[in-house]
Amino acid sequence: MTLAMEIFRGRRRQKGARRVPSKALEDSLDTLKDSYDLLGLLIEDARFVIFDTELTGLKLRKDSIVSIGAVKMVGGRIHLGDYFYRLVRPETALTGRSVLIHEITPEEVSTCPDIETLLPEFIEYCRDSVLVGHFVSVDLGFVNKELKRLYNRTLQSPAIDTQRIYRWLAQQRENGCAYHEGRIEELDLTSLAGRYRIPVGRAHNALDDAYMTAQLFQRFLAELPGAGIRTVADLIRIGRL
Amino acid sequence: MLITDTIEFLKGIPPFQFLEEGALGELASGATLEFYPKGTMILKQDGQPSDYLRVIKKGGVKVYIQPEQGEEIIIDYRSEGDSFGLLSMVGQDRSRANVTAIEDTICYLFERRTIQRLIDTNPHFTEYFFKTFLTKYIDKTYKEMRDRSLLYGGGEKLLFTTPVGEIANPDVVTASQDITIREAASLMSGRRISCLVLVDAEGAPVGIVTDRDLRDKVVAKGRDVDSPIRRIMSVSLIRTDVRDYCFEALLKMVRYNIHHMLVVDEGKLRGIITNHDLMMIQGTSPISVAKEIEAQQTIDGLVGASQKINRIVGLLLKEGAKAGNITRIISEINDRMLKKILWLAERTFGQPPVPYCWIVMGSEGRKEQTFKTDQDNALIYDDPATPEEEGLATEYFANFSVFMRDALVQCGFPLCPGNYMASNPSWRQPLSVWKEYFSNWIKTPTTDAILFSAILFDFRPIHGDITLAERLRAYLTQLASNEDMFLRNLAEMAVKLRPPLGFFRTFVVEKSGEHKDALNLKYKCIAPMVDIARLYSLAAGVSEVGTLDRIAALKRLPGAMAEHGDDLEQAFEFLSLLRIHHQYDQIEAGLEPDNFINPDKLSNLEKKTFKEVCQLISRIQDSLVKQYFPGTTL
């Protein structure tokens, strides 16, 4: 990319104009869009990207991504070396409250690349994979917001919510009885990890949370064959947003 | 977190801890993590070769073999930090065993090429891995299988019971006695043999030539190699019959200082046996040592024979003998030694004025000695009829027992620190005094009395007028069974030392590394079992002395042993074997044998069994508390 182009891009972004996605990004987005092709795969053959984001806050309109962490799985196997972790210079201000949660300071991210630079990398990392996350709608919402803003595109691929899979399994274990809505159960990641004795890392670090989610997902996968869940399609049916 | 955690984990476990940080990082980056719910079969025997080395991050697995017939054979339990699948992975061979998760288990998986590269470049890593994996498999698996197979009859069939014919090499190379030395030598080197049998025109063996003959009689003497071989052959052929036991063949070889011997059957050549074939039994077979003891006429002669006893234990352990059998064989040999010394003593001092019986007590009485232990002996003599006879007896047995004490020390049986020896006047008494001792201890169970009874009640006659010991035993058996006060005191002793239940609590779930303290096997585990068996026997009027014999007799009676007897037998067998192995290793390493077991040195299988044994002892102790001390908690 030439310096001129860089400047050009920067200026255009200031105006809030949309970019044309590069060929590579287009390809990656396409594989994600087409991930319905993955539906027929047996779970043990499928690739999963388990991801988490840290945000400046929870308001989709006002807030933005501070970091993205992701771990790859093939079937039930977590690939420890093939992880993704990036800090992002957020599009909106890092407020005091969120800094206390994820402990990422404005200074730390001031020199980091912006989301525009990182998003294509992340999309590439997700190529040919089914997306998984804990309360994944929130994270996916922010990723899509940026994709929309930058490229007027969104991820079309199905994503699996581990929290929903947990609830579905709990329901199965209760012999098909309706899930007790009345029962108060903590469904946040740390509580669930504790229940499965999964070591809790630095809380609200996107990579550690993604790794915890992956381990939780790994436990669920071990239970699923017994409940008749064998393919990615089955998995999406029970864990869909 | 993903990589650093993995590296930190690997740093704590052998053999990965021998690796450089860089290598660990590389290893961690290529690793994957897999979860197996309890009960998952991770590797299947005879299944696909394993593509990964699996290291357990959390949980535990059972490695076992399922023979075509019969029960599964557990090779090992593996827990956190242990690995599995190496041999199959490296050899790309079928998996040798089943591996099943015995609890929810998480494993790191390392790819074959990564591990292979470490094996190729890192000697520490390789040595550790192959040592632990190979020895575990080869030693344990095949030994256990062999022990179960009928062919080997539980490891009890020792070579010394084998006739020579069974181990002789039938492929004997023969040649005419008329060939030259050169022809003989080239025949021997061509066939890679160390000896050649020479025959006459009829094919009957007339002589033998060995490597040693070629060296001593040809090369050293500068003899012409074209002279006939018969000039140098050994003509006085020492032969052994196919039906002779191996030890007899060995004795001949030792006596004539030869290394090869022809094995014949009614004069016909059937094979050849070498000292190498007999190496296994050379000086280490129980029978040969027993024979050697028999042959001695002096204490000095016995000293040599006694030094071979430890080697026998080593041999028996290697043969996979059970602990019960090892201690029985050792007791038998020690008994023979003792009888021989008593015989020498009688020869020195002449016939005793009154009949006597030499008894041994404690572990020796129960035939539970492992290696040579302290002397624990006493002497009962017939009640003298007159004061003169009494005077003679006192003097005779004083000299006699001092001679015994010193002779035993010479033969490697140290003095008893508690002075439980016949040389102590208290412990050489006429039968009536012994009866009085016993009844006093039972009627007035003081601390000393309980201690004395724990040792002396486990007595066993060795030599002399055995009826003296039998009369004392009958007296004791009838006396003790109704003495509640005394039995309560024995019970108190039997529950005082508790096995270390918390010792292995961390098994599998947590590493047991923090428990650095060794465990005194004898006091914490074996002694309570011995005490329990003694208590039950005295209470039930059972006259057996050995712990296993006592349990066997008690099993036939109603009561706690009918329920726990089988388990207790196995537990006792297990602990005894553990102790023997431990002490033998110490002796081999030139250390004094002791009873301190370091749990870190145990295999997981041993740890698991140990834990079960401790729980069993503790349960029985609890029931004793209930029975003898209702309403109390000890």
Six token digits for residue A179 = 């899930």
Six token digits for residue B555 = 């099993």
| CATH class (in words) of the domain with range B161-281 | alpha beta
Q: How far apart are CA A169 and CA A146, in angstroms?
A: 33
Q: How far apart are CA A155 and CA A153, in angstroms?
A: 7
Distance from CA of A145 to the nearest CA of B (A): 29
Query: What is the pLDDT at residue B98?
Result: 87
**Contacting residues of B for A79, CB less than 8 Å apart:** 32
Q: How far apart are CA B120 and CA B399, in angstroms?
A: 70
- B361: DSSP letter: -
Q: Which of A83, A15, A16, A20 is nearest to A49 (CA)?
A: A83
Q: Position B560: which residue type?
A: A
B1 and A79 within 8 Å at the Cβ level: the answer is no
Of all residues in chain A, the one with the smallest CA distance to B33 is A78
Query: What is the pLDDT at residue B84?
Result: 87
Residue B105 near chain A (CB below 8 Å): no
Q: How far apart are CA B57 and CA B5, in angstroms?
A: 11
Q: Position A173: which residue type?
A: R
Question: Does pLDDT of A103 surpass 60?
Answer: yes
List CB contacts of B232: < 8 A, sequence separation 6 or more: B181, B209, B213, B214, B217, B218, B223
Query: What is the pLDDT at residue B287?
Result: 61
Query: What is the pLDDT at residue B116?
Result: 82
Residue B6 near chain A (CB below 8 Å): yes
Six token digits for residue A223 = 């239970």
Which of A81, A208, A219 is nearest residue B1 as measured by Cβ atoms? A208
Query: What is the pLDDT at residue A93?
Result: 78
Q: pLDDT digit string (tens) for B288-298?
A: 677 778 778 88
The better pLDDT of the pair B7, B521 is held by B7
Long-range contacts formed by A9-14: CB under 8 A, 24+ apart: A13/A116
Distance from CA of A1 to the nearest CA of B (A): 32
**Contacting residues of A for B30, CB less than 8 Å apart:** 81
Query: What is the pLDDT at residue A181?
Result: 52
The better pLDDT of the pair B217, B370 is held by B217
Lowest mean pLDDT among A151-165, B239-253, B520-534: B239-253
**Contacting residues of A for B54, CB less than 8 Å apart:** none
Which of A211, A218, A221 is nearest residue B1 as measured by Cβ atoms? A211
Q: pLDDT digit string (tens) for B325-343?
A: 677 777 777 888 899 999 9
pLDDT band of A6, cuts 50, 70, 90? very low
Distance from CA of A58 to the nearest CA of B (A): 25
Q: How many residues does this entry show for chain A?
A: 241
- Residue B599 backbone dihedrals phi, psi, to 5 degrees: -60, -25
The better pLDDT of the pair B368, B400 is held by B400
Q: Position B475: which residue type?
A: Y
Four-residue CA torsion sign, A42, A43, A47, A49: positive
The better pLDDT of the pair B37, A35 is held by B37
Residue B613, burial from CB neighbour count under 10 angstroms (0-12, 13-18, 19+): buried
Q: How far apart are CA B548 and CA B367, in angstroms?
A: 10
B35 and A219 within 8 Å at the Cβ level: the answer is yes
Lowest mean pLDDT among A237-241, B54-58, B148-152: B148-152
Can you tell me the ipTM of this complex?
0.81
Percent of the residues in chain B that have a pLDDT greater than 70, as a whole number: 80
Q: Cβ atoms within 10 A of the Cβ of B387, count?
A: 8
**Contacting residues of B for A74, CB less than 8 Å apart:** 32
Q: pLDDT digit string (tens) for B340-379?
A: 999 999 999 999 999 999 999 998 899 887 776 788 999 9
Query: What is the pLDDT at residue A32?
Result: 65
Q: pLDDT digit string (tens) for B412-457?
A: 888 888 899 999 999 999 999 999 999 999 998 888 898 899 899 9
A222 and B2 within 8 Å at the Cβ level: the answer is no
Lowest mean pLDDT among B245-259, B426-440, B519-533, B587-601: B245-259
Query: What is the pLDDT at residue A180?
Result: 53
Query: What is the pLDDT at residue B507?
Result: 36
Query: What is the pLDDT at residue B380?
Result: 96
B28 and A205 within 8 Å at the Cβ level: the answer is no
Kindly list the domain boundaries of chain B, sorted by start residue: 2-150, 161-281, 286-471, 484-628
Distance from CA of A93 to the nearest CA of B (A): 28
Distance from CA of B119 to the nearest CA of A (A): 21
Q: What CATH number does domain B484-628 carry, 2.60.40, 1.10.10, 1.10.287, 1.20.120?
A: 1.20.120
What's the mean per-residue pLDDT of chain B?
Answer: 80
Residue B452 near chain A (CB below 8 Å): no
- Residue A201 backbone dihedrals phi, psi, to 5 degrees: -85, -160
For B311-323, what is the mean pLDDT?
A: 64
Question: Does pLDDT of B634 surpass 60?
Answer: no
Greatest pairwise CA separation for chain A in angstroms: 65
Interface of A with B (CB under 8 A): 71, 74, 76-81, 83, 201-202, 205, 207-208, 211, 215, 218-219, 221-223
What's the mean per-residue pLDDT of chain A?
Answer: 81
Pairing of β B377-381 and β B428-430: parallel
Q: pLDDT digit string (tens) for B557-574?
A: 887 788 788 888 888 888
- Topology of domain B2-150 in CATH is Jelly Rolls (2.60.120)
Place domain B286-471 in its CATH homologous superfamily: Beta Polymerase, domain 2 (3.30.460.10)
Query: What is the pLDDT at residue A5?
Result: 39
Question: Does pLDDT of A11 surpass 80?
Answer: no
- Topology of domain A21-239 in CATH is Nucleotidyltransferase; domain 5 (3.30.420)
Query: What is the pLDDT at residue B296?
Result: 84
Query: What is the pLDDT at residue B336?
Result: 84
For B234-249, what is the mean pLDDT?
A: 72
**Contacting residues of B for A222, CB less than 8 Å apart:** 35-37, 40
Q: pLDDT digit string (tens) for A159-185?
A: 899 999 998 988 887 754 555 555 557
CB pairs under 8 A between A and B: 48
Question: Does pLDDT of A128 surpass 90?
Answer: no
A218 and B6 within 8 Å at the Cβ level: the answer is no
**Contacting residues of A for B3, CB less than 8 Å apart:** 80-81
Percent of the residues in chain B that have a pLDDT greater than 90, as a whole number: 26
